[in-house]
Amino acid sequence: MAAKAPEEGFTAEPFVPERGGLPALRRAAAECRGCPLHRDATQTVFGAGDAHARVMLVGEQPGDQEDRQGKPFVGPAGKLLDRALAEAGIDPDRAYVTNAVKHFKFTRAEPRKRRIHKAPALREMTACGPWLAAELAVVEPELIVVLGATAGKALLGSSFRVTRVRGTVLEEEIHGRRERLVPTVHPSAVLRADDRESAYDGFLSDLKVAARILE
């Protein structure tokens, strides 16, 4: 009989505790072996911020800095995100910030060289989904800001297209809860854009849609 493909059945599910708040989830996530990404990364980067936040921001996965420091959005993309949030009228310190995938995925051009971010595959997003579901169940945000395509696919399915829905207010059933979401681009996309100024303006105007809901 053919062996089961190794990527089948990857899931964080058995590692997620049934009870307990964010501290219990964070402790358990540190031990997650739900998919192979934990092997090369330094540590699990769990969500951070206000446990009673009205707004949850969901990114893709930790980057190099986040992997070293163990906190989400502490690198260049995070700096830009904090600045844009404050400018839009959302206090970054009162938000809850997390990622669709909790371990850094990377390649190295050569051994010992800089680690280059690699986009997570659908199977890793699916494997890590139970952590995001658990965070949503505990924080119960009024609004989810979806940062880019990976977060969108993780929350809303693989047909999600950020260009089609950015800056709009969506209402969807996610893990049995009615959620309100405002999708926008990923802050890294703003940093990479040829016309950074207009990319930033677009990002800011999407975040202002989110800010209005929270008024």
- CA nearest to 5, candidates 105, 104, 123: 123
β-pairing, 177-184 vs 170-174, is: antiparallel
Per-residue tokens: 61: 């996965």
Is 12 near ligand SF4 (CB under 6 A)?
A: yes
- We find the least distance from the C-beta atom of residue 100 to ligand URA, in angstroms, to be 8
Is 151 near ligand SF4 (CB under 6 A)?
A: no
Is 135 near ligand URA (CB under 6 A)?
A: no
From residue 114, give the alpha-carbon distance in Å to each of 44, 77, 103, 179, 204: 20, 18, 17, 38, 31
**Among 38, 153, 166, 186, interactor with ligand SF4 by CB under 6 A:** 38
Site for ligand URA in 51-70 (CB under 6 A): 59-63, 66
| Segment near ligand SF4 (CB under 6 A); pick from 30-38, 106-114, 155-163, 170-178 | 30-38
Q: Whole-angstrom Cα distance, residue 54 to residue 140? A: 8
By CB under 6 A, the count of residues binding ligand URA is 13
Asked whether 48 and 74 are in contact (CB, 8 A), the reply is: no
Query: Rounded to 5 degrees, what are φ and ψ at 180?
Result: -110, 130
- Residues forming contacts to ligand URA in the complex (CB under 6 A) are 59-63, 66, 72-73, 75, 77-78, 99, 188
Q: Under the rule (CB under 6 A), what is the footprint of ligand SF4?
A: 12, 29, 32-35, 37-38, 44, 101-103, 124, 127-128, 131
